[in-house]
Structure 1
Amino acid sequence: MPARPPSWAWVSGLTLGAIAAVSVLAVQADQGPHPTAAVTSPSPSASADAKPTPKETAPAPVPDGSGTGRRIVYSLGQDRVWLVDASDAARRTFTVWPGTVDPDPGRYTVGSRSEAATTGSDGVRIERIVYFAQEDGVSVAFSNAVDGSSPPPPASGTKTGGIRLQKADGAAVWAFATSGTEVTVVG
C-alpha cells in the first residue's frame, strides 16, 4: 500500500489551489470595466412628484462678477447656489427650486434665520430658513422641506419667495449662512 501524505501537505495544497483561483479571478476582474463616480445634483422641476436626478461630471464654476471672499452666490439663470469660502473656492454647489418671486441681482446680507419647522407659503413643512432679501413685499429665503420633497407647483398668481433646497443642501446652507453672511444674486 502506498504511503499517504501527511495532513499538512493536503492543507497546503488546498490553500495554494485556493490562492491561485482567487488570483486568476482578481486578474480577470481588473481587466473588466471600472465604475466612475459622478457628482449628482437636483434639477428643479415643476412637478410635485418629480425627483431630481441629472448627473454632472464637473462642478459648475462660480459665476464671474459674483464678488470675492466668503459668500453665497445664487444664480437666477442657472437656479444654482454656490457656497464660496474666504479664498474664493467653491466648497459646495447645487441646483435649487426657485420661488415665484426672484430677488433683484445684487448683494444682500443674511438678516435672520429660523431652524424650527414651520409651514411655507406653498403649504409644505419647511425648516432651516435663511432670510436674505425682501422683494415685492415677499421675504426671500433658502429653506428645505422637512420631508426632503420638492415643492409643489404654486397656485396661479401665488407669490412665493422660498428657494427650496434638497435636505442635505439645506443643512449645508444652514451651517454656512450665519447672520451677516453675504449673498450675491446674479442673473
Structure 2
Amino acid sequence: MAVLTAVALAVVAFFAYQANAAPDRPGASGKPEPAPTDEIVPDKPDGDEQEDPENPALPADSGEGVRVVYSLGEQRLWLVTEALDGLGEEVLHTYPAHRSTVDPQPGTYEVTRRDEAIPGSDGVPIQHVVVFHTDPEGIVFGFSAAVDGSLPDPSAQARTGGIRQSPEDSPQLWDFAEVGTKVVVVP
C-alpha cells in the first residue's frame, strides 16, 4: 500500500509540475515576471508611431535637400541633410528656438550672412549669428544665441527678427549653415 501511495504522489507531483510550466502560465519561461505597477501606459494604436517630444517629426511640406527648417508654430529648428545611404534625407539635429517680436513670412530663403559675435538688435551680445532674410522694413531675420543665455522679449516694443537658440544648440547650426544654405520657414 505504501508503494501505491508513493507512486500516486509522484504522478500528482509530475502533473502539477507540468501544469505550472505550461506556456500560458506566468513564470512558465523560467524568467521572473515584472512586478505589477500602478503606472498607466497608454496603448499605441496599431501602425501609428508615437512622436518623441524631444525629437518631433520634421514638418510636412518643409522642402527637400540640405536645409534648415524653422517652424513658427512649434518654435523649433531642424537641420536636415541627405541620408548617408543616398536614399532620402535625415534630421541631424532638432531643438527649440524662441521668436522675437516679428516673425518671418513662411517661405524659402537662404543664409546671406554669418557673424561669430555681434550686439543683437535688442542690445544683448549674441553669437553664432546666421542671417537668412531682411524684409522691406529693414527687419533682419536670423538665428543666434545670447552669450548670457537670455531669451528675446516677445512683448518688447522694438521690432526685431532675432530667433534665439540656446548657447548649447547654436554651435550645431553654426557648423551646419554656411552662406547659401536653404532655410525653409513653415507656419
Deviations 1:91-128 (A, max 9, x none): 11111111111111111010110002x22121211011
SS at match of 1:128: strand
Q: Check the 8 A contact 2:76/2:95 in 1, yes or no.
A: yes
Match of 1:99 in 2: 100
Q: How many angstroms apart in 2 are the aligned matches of 1:129 and 1:58?
A: 24
Contact 2:100 2:152 in 1 (8 A): no
Amino acid at match of 2:138: G
AA in 2 matched with 1:179: V
Q: Distance in 1 between matches of 2:150 and 2:122?
A: 12
Distance in 1, Cα, partners of 2:101 & 2:55:
26
The structure-2 alpha-carbon separation of the partners of 1:70 and 1:147, relative to structure 1 and needing over 3 Å to count, comes to same
Residues in 2 aligned to 1:58 and 1:137: alpha-carbon distance in whole angstroms: 34
- Whole-angstrom distance in 2 between the partners of 1:107 and 1:152: 26
> How many residues in Structure 1 have an aligned counterpart in Structure 2?
133
The structure that has the greater radius of gyration is 2
CA contact (8 A) 1:122 1:154 kept: no
- Partner deviation per Cα, 1:107-152 (whole Å, 9 max, x = no partner): 1010110002x22121211011100011232010100011222234
Correspondence for 1:23 = none
Shift of 1:68: 1.2
RMSD: 2.0
**Contact between 2:78 and 2:91, CA under 8 Å: does it hold in 1?**
yes
Alignment-mate amino acid for residue 120 of structure 1: G
Whole-angstrom CA distance in 1 between matches of 2:165 and 2:125: 13
Q: Deviations over 1:5-29 (max 9, x none)?
A: xxxxxxxxxxxxxxxxxxxxxxxxx
1:159 to 1:84, Cα distance in 2 relative to 1, 3 A: same
**TM alignment of 1:52-63, pairs within 5 A:** 57-63=53-59
Task: Show the counterpart of 1:150.
Answer: 151
Higher-helix-fraction structure: 1
1:109 aligns with 2:110: yes
Q: How far apart are residue 153 of structure 1 and its match?
A: 5.0
Q: CA contact under 8 A between 2:109 and 2:133: conserved in structure 1?
A: yes
- Given that residues 79 and 93 in structure 2 are in contact (C-alpha distance below 8 angstroms), is that contact kept between their aligned partners in structure 1? yes
- Match in the other structure for 1:133: 133
SS in 1 for 2:82: coil
Q: Aligned pair in 2 of structure 1 residues 57, 141: CA closer, same or farther (>3 Å)?
A: closer
Q: 2:60 aligns with which of 64, 76, 88?
A: 64
Runs of 4+ residues over 4 Å off in structure 1 = none
Letter in 2 for 1:101: V
Q: Specify the code of the residue in structure 2 equivalent to 1:59.
A: N
Could you tell me how far apart the structure 2 residues matched to 1:134 and 1:57 are? 32
| TM-score, normalised by the number of residues in structure 1 | 0.66
After superposition, the C-alpha distances for 1:162-181 in whole angstroms (9 at most, x for unaligned) are 00000021111100001110
TM-score computed with the length of structure 2 as normaliser: 0.66
Over 3 Å counting, the alpha-carbon distance change for 1:146 and 1:62 in structure 2 is same
Q: Which residue of structure 2 aligns with residue 161 of structure 1? A: 161
For structure 1, which runs of at least 5 residues remain unmatched after alignment? 1-30, 32-55
2 CA distance for matches of 1:104 and 1:174? 22
In 1, Cα distance between the equivalents of 2:163 and 2:54?
23
